[in-house]
Structure 1
Amino acid sequence: MWGISLSCEIADFLSLIKGLSQQLLSSENDWILYRLDDLAQIKSGYSGTQVSYQTPYKVSRIETISKHCIDIQRIGYVECIPESYRLNVGNILFSNINSIQYIGNTAYLDKDYGLYHGMNLLRIIPNTTIVRPRFLHLLLCTDWAINYFQTICNKAVSQASINQTALGKSRFPIPPMSVQQQICSMFELTERKLDNEQEYISCLQQQKRYLLQKMFI
């Protein structure tokens, strides 16, 4: 039964993202069109030298968001860094220098990781009077947005890039706050259910390994 349930939750999540993509492409809605640089501040990361040993100052790297979430096992360290670079809950990290297939990768700061903003990622700080941070992150994850970013990026032999100015000119239709809240609530419910299902699967796999070990002792 858990397999069917997990499949349903994944389908719900994909349906939500697909629905957002369709809404972005639709001209028959009352959503207001905003430039990204009106919806959020876009900032570059700290360019100071990273060190090969651990310090109290953890900084993000490209690899930190390679799984579309914050991977605290894949970070760097610096000797010191201004407090203004500290990442806050609701910030979004955006991959703007990478292989073309990874341009537009994002990660949402869902909690305080004690992490600072390192180089080669942009930091998007949503204007919460216009857009909910989680909703903006969902928009950035749609196929429409990712395809757009990969179309406008500057392509070189080994990597591609988007500068802050070009990214800031990206335009997104934004609904009223009440609609944003409904969409975010649906997403967060689906996300929690997925996490619970995956934890259950992990427990079953551990039990399976334990039973197999006992069978051959």
Structure 2
Amino acid sequence: MKELCFATNNKNKIAEVSRMLEGKYKLLSLEDVGCYEELAEDQDTLEGNSRQKAQYVWEQYGVNCFADDTGLEVDALCGEPGVYSARYAGPQRSDADNINKLLQSMQGKENRKARFRTSITLYLDGQEHQFEGIVNGHITQEWKGDKGFGYDPVFVPNGYDQTFAQMTPDQKNAISHRGEAIRRLVEFLKAQQPAGA
């Protein structure tokens, strides 16, 4: 079975993608390949950050690898926080601080449209491939829900009346930006495998 590194040490993410690949690839974490350093994310786009991480693992460890980066893009804030979503309120990367800063920035703004966007870069046998997932929605006036992470408590996807933080993980994954990007990655990977492999 071919091995594939997911450039993360988040065991929940790895288990989720492993199920989606149905045993066609053996998923490895960064720890599994001996990578213990924090991967740099200093590019000015989501695509650049996901490429930077995946390329680093491929070049340094010689394993097929993919990495993701996600940003919240708010219309009324000219696309902010975008690539800086995780550190919007500072280098401490606090979800609570980020949400509070976002809600403060949105005070008095009627246009509350926003979207989550995930970029995934895959390095497979030295070839680069990119996949994207997007979900459109709006920013609430206040926190709602206690599930999920990041900006989930203040983001309601179009067609729903609950924030991501009010949904079960399965409900969120079925419609989320990351879920869509990963499904595209999985479809591509399955297509690379010969029948019966």
Same fold (TM over 0.5): no
Larger radius of gyration: 1
Higher relative contact order (CA 8 A, sep 6+): 1
Structure with greater helix share of residues: 1
TM range (shorter): under 0.3
Q: Output the TM-score relative to the length of structure 2.
A: 0.26
Q: Output the TM-score relative to the length of structure 1.
A: 0.24
